[in-house]
Structures are given as structure tokens and as C-alpha cells.
Structure 1
Amino acid sequence: MTYDARIERLPIYALFDLKGPQKELNAWCKDRLSFPNDPNTRTRNDSASLCHIGPNRWLLRDALENEAALIDALKPETAPAEISIVRVSDTQTFFRITGPDAAEVMSIGCPLDLHDAVFAPDASSYTEFFGVKALVLRCEDGFECAVEQSYGNMIEDFLTRAMA
């Protein structure tokens, strides 16, 4: 069966792993970031998104050209001991799966219930995707999925095969 979907390997993003109490992170970031209130959700501001990926843990994603400005703003090297801000930009490969059959393609490799009644427009969650840990996000007309960079070619191959 062929699917009416499009698979796109996305460019590298500026990524920062933020850990610590939200109150301390918010104070350190001088309210520049809009933290999601609920686990497994994200907020968006211009090109940036901030995913709440665990207790006291967030993933900040922005366009790669904004990375230097984010380093200047977040000052990860001088962060206080109660928080951690680590640049992880080169660790993840992102894919975008869009189109009328995007959910069906995702269901081949992902056990999450991605129906929009359960996985809302601001949803983000770690799960398994073709047997590897992956971050899944809803995007316009489909989903985005991030895997550890070393699995990027394998996941691209699996997605290509799923479309055939």
C-alpha cells in the first residue's frame, strides 16, 4: 500500500537541554522563554519551541542561525549549580512526516496514540520509533520526529520503506 504523505529530513537545529526547577530556569533566562505548564507539551515563540520532556527538564529548539544569540542569552557556562543548560545541537536528526496519511505512516513505527483528540497540537513526547528512542511533535499537517543522529540514516531508510 502506498501512502499520501511526504517525508522530509530537516536541517540541524539549535538545541539546548535545560534541567532544573522551572522557577530557577525562568529567573536565569530572565523570562525570555515561555515554559509549558504541562508535561509532554510545548510552547512556541517565533522560530523557537520549548518542549517539557520530563520532570524539571525541557528541550529548546530554534533555527541554527539563532544558536550564537541563544548562547549569549542563556549563558550556559555560567549557569548556577541548581540548573543545567547544555547545547546539544549536533545530537538529533529531525524528520517531518506530513500529508493526509501522516498518522498512518507514523503508526508503522510508533506505538503512541497520535489521534488529535489525544495528541494535541502542542503535544511533544518521547517514545519509541522503529525501535529507537525518539521525540515526537505534532506539526502543521503532520508530525516531526527526532532521533539520535547516529540513527538518522536508518530511520530515513525505514520511513522510505514504509512509504513503498
Structure 2
Amino acid sequence: MSDLATVDRAPARGMITLRGDFTSSKLKRAVKAATGHAVPKPGRIAGDGHKGVAWMSPDELLLMVPYEDVASTVDNIASDMGDTHYLTVDVSDARAVFSITGPDANEVLARLCPVDLHKDSFAIGGFRRTRLAQVAAAFWRHDTGFDLVCFRSVADYAEGVLQRSALARKTGAL
């Protein structure tokens, strides 16, 4: 019996937390300039995990850019925002990213997260902050599965529970 999905730890990705007023035209322009995408609606990601933007909360976005472009992107946001109130933080090295791919990738996460992962409820481009077993995580659906972000300090634990959940079992029990 083969595994339900493949779980891989991804190389470091550039991630920037941006907090501010989503109605601000300066913030909207800064996000578009940094990622090539508009501010997404709640529970959505625009783009992908390499260059995109995810809605984290009513005043927080997660910008994803190439790792080597983070410092210049933060500087460009500062220039674009001027004296408008905002906050940017480079969180790239504080996060770990996993790719969960394959036809049953949703089953791997469903075993660990209290989220309805049916494609009718959580379609491609869906983004969710939740718990992965006992740790905070966020993930989004793409065409081949999911990408998941968690704190680097719990990455080994997250990788272990993801790998265990990906194992196919005749009984379905963990």
C-alpha cells in the first residue's frame, strides 16, 4: 500500500508580515508592487508560495517573495508607504514550509487539522490559519496539493506528524 501523499520540507522562502489598513491606497499599491497581486479576500491567497500574498487577519498579510529579495522588498514597502502607519517584519527565517502533494493530500491534513478540506469548501487558492496537531500553522491549496507554513522552532515536530499522517493504513487509524 502506498502513502497517501508526499511530504517535503521546502527550501527557505522569503516571507514578510505586513500589517496595516487594507483600505489604504498606498498599502494596496505596495502589495501589488511587491508581489504582483492585489490584496486577497479573507481566507484566500493570491499567487503562490514563491511570489504572492495571503490574507492572515483583518490587518495582516503574509507577502511571499524570493528569499534573496526580502530586504529590498521591505525597503521598497517603506518607500511606498511613506508616513502611512504600517508594520513590516521579515519572518523568512522564523518559518518552515512543507509541500504536501498527491491525490490524497487533503486526507493527510484532514487527519491533523480541524478544517473541512473538501474541494467544494476549500478550493484552490483557499488559505487557512489553524492548528496542525498541537502547533500553529497556515496552509493553502494549489493544483497539486497544499503548502503549509509553521514556526521553524516546531518544524521537526510538524514534519514528523505530517509524515506519519501521510502513511496509508488499512484500518485508517493513526
TM over 0.5, yes or no? yes
User: Which residue of 108, 112, 117 corresponds with 1:114?
Assistant: 117
**Residue of structure 1 in register with 2:5 after alignment:** 5
**Residue of structure 2 in register with 1:19 after alignment:** 19
What TM-score do you get using the length of structure 2 for normalisation? 0.83
Q: Indicate how the Cα distance of structure 1 residues 93 and 79 shifts in structure 2: closer, same or farther if over 3 A, else same.
A: farther
* Aligned structure 1 segments of 4 or more residues deviating by more than 6 angstroms: none
Give the paired residue count.
Answer: 162
Query: 2:31–2:39: 8 Å Cα contact kept in structure 1?
Result: no
What TM-score do you get using the length of structure 1 for normalisation? 0.87
Aligned mates of 2:45, 2:31 — CA distance in 1: 19
Query: 1:9–1:94: 8 Å Cα contact kept in structure 2?
Result: yes
Q: CA deviation at 1:68?
A: 3.5
**Residue of structure 2 in register with 1:88 after alignment:** 91
Instruction: Calculate percent identity across the aligned residue pairs.
Output: 27
**Residue of structure 2 in register with 1:74 after alignment:** 77
Q: Indicate how the Cα distance of structure 1 residues 153 and 79 shifts in structure 2: closer, same or farther if over 3 A, else same.
A: farther
**Residue of structure 1 in register with 2:151 after alignment:** 148
Q: Indicate how the Cα distance of structure 1 residues 148 and 64 shifts in structure 2: closer, same or farther if over 3 A, else same.
A: same
2:146 counterpart SS class: strand
User: Over residues 42-80 of structure 1, what are the superposed CA-to-partner deviations in whole Å (9 max), with x where a residue is unaligned?
Assistant: 11179411001100210001221222431342238x853
Aligned mates of 2:66, 2:5 — CA distance in 1: 24
**Residue of structure 2 in register with 1:105 after alignment:** 108
Which 10-residue stretch deviates more, 141-150 or 78-87?
78-87
| Gapped regions of structure 2 (runs ≥ 5) | 168-174
Aligned mates of 1:153, 1:107 — CA distance in 2: 19
Query: 1:51–1:124: 8 Å Cα contact kept in structure 2?
Result: yes
User: Cα RMSD (Å) of the superposition?
Assistant: 2.3
